[in-house]
Amino acid sequence: MSDDGLHSLTYIGYYDAASRPLRGVIPQEEIITLHLNGHPLVSLMCTPIQMEELAIGFLFNEGVIESIDDVAVLRPCSNAHCLDIWLEYDVESPTLRTITSGCSGGTTFNDVRQVRRPVESTVRVPHHMVTCMMQSFMQAMNLYRRAGGIHGAALANATTGHLICLVEDIGRHNALDKVAGHCLQHREPMRDRVLLTSGRVSAEMINKVARMQVPVVISRTSPTSLAVQLARAWHVTLIGYTRRRSFHIYAGEERVFSEPESEATPERYRLPGQ
């Protein structure tokens, strides 16, 4: 049974020596295959929500498309476990697939160490906005609160701190693709924004961030060593271990500054309608 990304089931709970059946939810996981111009391109293990965003964002971050205008048709296949995508032009499907350290075995056709254009941005973020945006982001992760085992990603306005969009998936890399796909679908700029993520920041994720030209990444946990190297090379501000009153800056510290915290509250940065 599916409930918008969650699967309901009965399981056995043990409490000391006593056990009893319980009803609950766990994250839903499915394999979705993307077909590009009539040919299978890649199969992704993911949470089967926001599938159009995932497909569009994956194609963008892999360099297959440049904008939503490149997509002529995007529709579900008859078996419901694939998406059929037709572009406005012919492409040669990439054959090199790199299995990344994503929690579901992420896939990329790119060498994550390839040269990216450095992220140019005049964005600067006050220190209190870093922690408040992370609190607001974590509070807004609905699937995570209900079931755990889910990663989230959000894009925020670097000036106001307001969350522009928020997505969830079992894969950290999938969540970034969904953010990119959402922005392309809604023609929402990604430049000069702040990206928030709940999980570890890997080299693959910094590669996607540089492709999206997002200048600031804020994570609740740690980056990897290669992610830090790439962030420094590509001028990405990389922040990790973000808590209520503290965080670590691993790259691009010049984009963070101190200012009074009188107006800093998590409620200020929530998604519209929350």
**Residues carrying an active site annotation:** 103
Helix (H, G, I), strand (E, B) or coil at 87: strand
Distances (CA, A) of 254 to 76, 205, 229, 258: 45, 21, 16, 11
**Among 235, 233, 227, 226, residue whose Cα is nearest residue 254:** 235
**Among 163, 166, 165, residue whose Cα is nearest residue 266:** 163
The residue whose two tokens read 């209190």 is: 128
**Among 108, 271, 274, 130, residue whose Cα is nearest residue 194:** 130
Distances (CA, A) of 132 to 4, 129, 147, 218: 27, 5, 23, 11
User: Backbone phi, then psi, for 227, in 5-degree steps?
Assistant: -60, -40
Helix (H, G, I), strand (E, B) or coil at 163: strand
Distance CA 30, CA 4 (A): 13
Kindly state the helix (H) or strand (E) to which residue 52 belongs, with its residue range: helix 51-61
Kindly state the helix (H) or strand (E) to which residue 157 belongs, with its residue range: strand 151-157
Distances (CA, A) of 242 to 84, 239, 253: 39, 7, 14
With contact defined as beta carbons under 8 Å apart, do 56 and 185 qualify? yes
The DSSP symbol for 38 reads T
